[in-house]
Amino acid sequence: MPFSDALREKNGSVFIDIEVTPGSKVIQVPSGYNEWRKRIEVKISEAAQKGKANEQVIEETASFFNVSASRVSIENGMTSSKKTVKIESISLKEIQEKLESKLK
| 100 within a domain of the structure (yes/no) | no
Round to whole Å and give the CA distance between 56 and 76: 16
pLDDT computed for residue 23 by the predictor: 93
| 98 within a domain of the structure (yes/no) | no
**What range does the domain containing 14 cover?**
2-92
pLDDT computed for residue 103 by the predictor: 75
pLDDT computed for residue 1 by the predictor: 62
Task: Write down the pTM of the prediction.
Answer: 0.93
| 39 within a domain of the structure (yes/no) | yes
Strand duo 13-21 + 82-88: pairing = antiparallel
The length of the chain is: 104
Counted domains in the chain? 1
Q: Which CATH number does the domain housing residue 59 bear?
A: 3.30.1200.10
Give the contacts of 11 (CB within 8 A, at least 6 positions apart): none
Angle subtended by helix axes 92-102 and 52-65, to nearest 10: 100
